[in-house]
Amino acid sequence: MKKVSGILIILVFFFSGFRITIAQPPVNNSFEILKNLDIYATLIKELNEHYVDDINPGELTKTGIDAMLESLDPYTNYIPESEIEDYKFITTGEYGGIGALIHQQGEYVIISEPYEGSPAQKDDIRAGDKIVEINGQSAKGKSYSDVSTILKGQAGTSLTIKLLREGEDKPVEKSITREIIKVDNIPYSGIVNKNIGYIKLNSFTQNAGQEVKKAFLKLKEGNDLQGVIIDLRGNGGGLLDEAVNITNIFIDKGQEVVSTKGKMPDKNFTHRTQSPPVDMNIPLAILVDKQSASASEILAGSVQDLDRGVIIGQRTYGKGLVQNVIPLSFNAQMKVTVAKYYIPSGRCIQAIDYSHKNKEGSFSLIPDSLIHAFKTKNGRTVYEGRGIKPDVITSPVSYSNIAMSLYTKYLIFDYATKFKREHPSIPPAGEFEITDSVFSDFQKFIAGKNYEYSTKSEQALEDLKKNAQQEHYFNAIKAEYDALNAQMINDKKGDLKKFKNQIGDLLRIEIVGRYYYQKGKVKSSLENDSDLAEAIKTINDPALYKSILAGTYKQQTVPQEDKEPANQDKDDN
């Protein structure tokens, strides 16, 4: 990691983008600051003395600070001492805990997945286990954030939890010792299409660059590697230096990757590659989507600007901001936006202008009139703002209503729990398939369970009915309406069969995760991955690959197949 003026530089994506105008050094407003601090101190003192009920000064102060910072941008945040450990996880990928993902399901918190090799996995805590008691206290009604806080803690400390397990009548009690949990930046890497390497990069925490380099060298060992694909889809960013280090694997030493420019001169800094490259010639493809942000955009954008590889997928998020972490008194910290970053062509890819609010009090995309063209190393035209536009654009993934309902209502998750209990083993992750008998068993499992959903057609028909009733036309069309509604309901009954392949993909990925954890899930998800197929096709066609980098390729949108929806809310513990 690099420190500027003793402050850690990070780029982390949370909620939305931000644009800050580079200005002159701040005017001397010390009197205004002192005056308002005095007003605040007097106010909270008088509140404490005169308010009818007891107040919590700490909570009130945090509420006030959060509201103040919220008026600036989503990335400038106050981090009280109590939340320091959660913040450290964002930058280091490490925390003290049992090593499991959890989610809320009704009144209880459920184990979503234990990390392979974690205390949870070693103590036979399983996906689907319901947490009913922690340290002798009932867990009923507790949110997953409440439970997460209890499960996390200093390495070496212990806790006792009771779990209700599918298929068992009595709770299972576990005494478990917390450890330092390191969440891998790379959950999976391997060979696809016989001779192309694939690396799934989930984050840019400490040592991400070394991890990618190690994975790449391992892929080259004993393989006639013809290309490499780095998957940044869903990767919200992390440490700026790690994005530079990963770029350095494929780019020569001394090359500018990103520069930062802020209000203060000490925030202006140029980051260059520091080491000899590993491979400057192997064909490279980067997969991105709308959730690829910040450090992901530095990596993808620098590869594009330097014409070192092909970017495939959907337009990225558009976060061109740098944050510094500044220590405050009493072990608190503040993460504050201090600069914009610029990739090699000179462009900034920030999408939202947070320096100006519109009349409704919200923020807008940077207007087209302020977006300028830039040139890549080979002379291709690229644009600032609005994220990174891929060289090969694929259509966003879409999901059927029934698949989304089965997934978000945890019926696919619950069936995988049942399947694991009934089947001690399955074939390797890349070979396991959902057979007709397994799908038939799943249909029996969900029979009578609630997975109701409304289609857009049903909603449109209901709107038609309401409008027709208001305008007194409904009686005239009632017969046709009833017939259309009945036909739609009848057709909807066939959705399980109609979307069998899509639902089967989700089942396969969830079931594989029960046996092979994150690594297996990622490998299984690649089975019907249209973005990956497009990357493989591009690398295997040297003429196409070269034409894209030369700027002679005619862009066409590549259709997407349906695949796994975004994860439900889960938390690391």
CATH architecture of 94-182: Roll (2.30)
What is the mean predicted confidence (pLDDT) over 201-211? 96
What tens digit of pLDDT does each residue of 541-567 get?
999 999 999 988 876 555 554 444 444
CA-CA distance, 317 to 16, in Å (whole number)? 8
| Burial of residue 513, with CB atoms counted within 10 A of its CB: 0-12 exposed, 13-18 middle, 19 or more buried | buried
339-355: pLDDT as tens digits: 999 999 999 999 887 77
Residue 285 has pLDDT above 70, yes or no: yes
**Terminal-to-terminal C-alpha distance of the chain:** 25
pTM of the model: 0.84
Short-list 313, 290, 318, CA closest to 386: 318
Work out the pLDDT band at 324, boundaries 50, 70, 90: confident
Interatomic CA distance for residues 22 and 263, integer angstroms? 5
Q: Residues of the chain with pLDDT > 90: what percent?
A: 65
Across 198-206, average pLDDT: 96
Cα 462 to Cα 458, 467, 484: the distances in Å are 6, 9, 11
Mean pLDDT of 363-386: 86
Positive or negative, the CA dihedral 557, 229, 9, 252 is: negative
**Where does 165-300 show beta strands of DSSP type E?**
172-177, 179-182, 188-192, 196-200, 227-231, 237-238, 256-262, 269-272, 284-288
Query: Residue 102: its pLDDT value, please?
Result: 96
Exposure b/e, 311-333, CB count within 10 A at least 16 = b: bbbbbbbbbbbbbbbbeeeeebb
Distance separating alpha carbons of residues 207 and 329, to the nearest angstrom: 29
- Parse the chain into domains and list their residue ranges: 94-182, 188-390, 401-452+499-550, 456-495
Homologous superfamily (CATH) of 188-390 is 2-enoyl-CoA Hydratase; Chain A, domain 1 (3.90.226.10)
